Amino acid sequence: MNKRLFRSYPIGLIIVVSCLVVVTLLVLSIFTVSYTNFTKNTAEEVNFQTGELSTQIVYNYENYISSVIDLSNTIQVDINKYVFDASGAKDFTKYLSSIVHLNSDIMGIYLYDSATAECMASSSNESTLPADTTQGWYKSAIGDPTVHVFSILPYEDGDNNYKLVVSKAIDYGYTDFQAILKFEMSFSRFVSLVQKSNLGKNGHITIVDPSYNIVYTSLPTGDASIETEAIQKLILGTQTVFINGNNMSINVDTLTNTKWRICVFINVDMLIEIEQQFLLSLIFVSVIVLIVGTALFLYISRLITKPIKQLENAMQRIEHADYFKTEEVSIYASKEVESLAKSFNQMIFKIKDLMDRVVMEQGAQRESELKALQNQINPHFLYNTLDSITWLVQQGKNAQAEEMVVSLARLFRISISKGKQVITVKEELDHVRNYLVIQSIRYSDSFLYTISADENALACKTMKLILQPIVENCIYHGLKNKIDIGKIDICAKKEGEYIVFTIADNGYGMRQEKIDELIKSFEESNSSDGVGLKNIYQRVMLYCNKDASLTIESVLDEGTTITIKERIL
């Protein structure tokens, strides 16, 4: 599956895409984990901090309330010390006024008979009106004699001022006598308890009763219904809610010794902002990482694919080149590609080596063939010449014998010429001259010969022993048994880059068919027929790398002209 998936795409693309996928996944997971952790931590931190803050506020209120209750308990205990007759109530009134005097928060303490609602005692002599039995503070206190009833009531004299009223049913002497004790307290103290705490913009406290009616709120303005809804949903505990354009952490707690619940609203916009900043910086970092990652992977993939491309190009150059060229590919890249290039270079050199060896072997083969061909010249001629010398010596023709021996010696010296294949034109001509000298002595001057050469051709190099076999042919096939005197003209000329030898006789000549047959036989390797000419042709061609020619022109009964044209090497 996977192999098929990756097969036809370039390496670079695969690297970039797969690395990007990995990096993106990595970045995404880091992003998610750190963001959720951060928000979780900040949420926990917010909850903890607001919890602590509101605990402190609740603690302040509870302290305040319990101090009121302590005072009430003290009065409840102390009340047993007073006798409530016409004069005794006066003492109790004094007692109450002293408490009010000592405690600046308390504006008044009243004792009402629970049966008649008459005021039995009051901290101030002026207000001794009977209690309004329809009011909540009175009814609730009668309803449950075990609890202190806290209520917030407006002042009788209007305005926006409020007072805190605490009422409690008490029974003293544990008789049937029951009374309602009522404290009226300054509200400013109640308000000041929250003002000390910094709750942020729009931060405030709200106190609600069990039916979620707002008893008190320190929020100057604003719609309270939204927040009571939030409180009603939360009931107890801490939660962050968006209220009136602010993120507020709400903490709802009970207010001990009262039925009230206290809700502390703390502005946490700042923390939300920090969270957003964190998110932004996280996004920024992620984008940077992705960009850098992409660039890096592009670079890496380039690093890998570029040398491969170079190698490919080098291979293509070799593929398209007309001749084999050993071009070393030098690539400096990753280790693998370098070693690939090295291997490629080694392969190229190996091929070159192999080709060189093939060329060399071919050369050696040519040389050995040459040698073999040259060697075909010698034996008969040597025997015949030695026979002729023997005959001349027997006849007493010593001068001729001497001439013949000298010529033979020269002939062989040039023939051997220290094993060289190539000799000068002059030497070649000398060679054929010596040969002709020997042959003309043998055949008693039955033919004439001329050897002519351009002065500038003499020093040129030529394949050796190419003239003598042709001359031998002329003598044996063209001139032997001829009635009139035979004639051989040998000429060497330089024509530009070529040396041209012409050997002309005035022999019988050949038919054109014979000539064609001869020419055709030149190209055949196996035929032993016409050894001489073919031998020369093949040698010259080998020697000159095929830049040579051998032409035969013949007219019957008039003679034959053979021209060898070879490139000067």
Partner 1 sequence: MKKVLSIVLLCVLIVLPLLVSCAPQKPIVGFFVYDENDTYMGELTAKVKAEVDSKVNLDIKYASRSQSVQNRQILDNLKQNTALIAVNLVDRLSASSIVEKCEQQKLPLVFFNREPLDGDMSSSRVYYVGANADNQGILQAEMLNNLFGEFVNTAYDKNGDGKIQTIIFKGEQGHQDAEKRTKSCLNELKNYGYSIDILGVTVADWSRNKAESAMQDYDKLFGESIELILCNNDDMALGAVDFLKGAGKLKEESASDFHQDYVIVGVDATEAGLKAVKDGYMYGTVLNDSLTQSKAIALLMQYLLQNKDLQNFPYTITNRNYIYIDGKIILKYDIK
Q: Which residues of the chain form contacts with partner 1 (CB under 8 A)?
A: 51, 55, 58-59, 62, 69, 72-73, 76-77, 80, 144-148, 171, 173-174, 210, 235-237, 252-254, 256-259, 261
Pairing of strands 461-463, 447-453: unpaired
Least CB distance to partner 1 at residue 268 (A)? 19
C-beta of 253 vs 430, nearer to partner 1: 253
Instruction: Give the tokens for residue 347.
Output: 């392969």
CA distances from 489 to 29, 255, 467, 499, 502 (A): 104, 148, 11, 16, 8
C-beta of 255 vs 465, nearer to partner 1: 255
Least CB distance to partner 1 at residue 232 (A)? 9
C-beta of 59 vs 476, nearer to partner 1: 59
Q: Distance (Å, rounded) from C-alpha 237 to C-alpha 263? A: 9
Least CB distance to partner 1 at residue 253 (A)? 5
Least CB distance to partner 1 at residue 275 (A)? 22
Element (DSSP H or E) covering residue 295? helix 269-320
C-beta of 109 vs 252, nearer to partner 1: 252
Task: Find the helix packing angle between 531-543 and 335-375, rounded to 10°.
Answer: 150
- The dihedral built from the CA positions of residue 540, 541, 547 and 551, taken in this order, carries a sign that is positive
Helix, coil or strand: residue 167: strand
Q: Distance (Å, rounded) from C-alpha 453 to C-alpha 473? A: 21
Least CB distance to partner 1 at residue 57 (A)? 10
Instruction: Give the tokens for residue 70.
Output: 């302590």
C-beta of 54 vs 122, nearer to partner 1: 54
C-beta of 262 vs 564, nearer to partner 1: 262
Q: Distance (Å, rounded) from C-alpha 565 to C-alpha 254? A: 129
Q: Which of 454, 489, 492, 459 is nearest to 471 (CA)?
A: 489
Least CB distance to partner 1 at residue 257 (A)? 6
C-beta of 212 vs 383, nearer to partner 1: 212
Q: Distance (Å, rounded) from C-alpha 78 to C-alpha 95? A: 9
C-beta of 147 vs 224, nearer to partner 1: 147
Least CB distance to partner 1 at residue 201 (A)? 26
Q: Distance (Å, rounded) from C-alpha 146 to C-alpha 228? A: 29
C-beta of 140 vs 502, nearer to partner 1: 140
C-beta of 253 vs 427, nearer to partner 1: 253
C-beta of 233 vs 350, nearer to partner 1: 233
Amino acid at 439: Q
C-beta of 65 vs 536, nearer to partner 1: 65
Instruction: Give the tokens for residue 359.
Output: 């060329």
Distance in Å from the first CA to the final CA of the chain: 66
Q: Please provide residue 396's backbone torsions phi and psi, each rounded to the nearest 5 degrees.
A: 80, 15
Helix, coil or strand: residue 212: coil
Q: Which of 467, 539, 476, 464 is nearest to 503 (CA)?
A: 467
Reported as half-sphere exposure (CB side, CA atoms, 13 A), residue 338 has a value of: 5
Q: Write out the DSSP string of 93-142.
A: HHHHHHHHHH-TTEEEEEEEETTT--EEEESSSS--PPP-TTSHHHHHHH
Amino acid at 436: L
Least CB distance to partner 1 at residue 180 (A)? 16
Least CB distance to partner 1 at residue 141 (A)? 13
Least CB distance to partner 1 at residue 185 (A)? 18
Least CB distance to partner 1 at residue 81 (A)? 9
Least CB distance to partner 1 at residue 96 (A)? 18
DSSP-assigned letter for residue 456: G
DSSP-assigned letter for residue 359: H
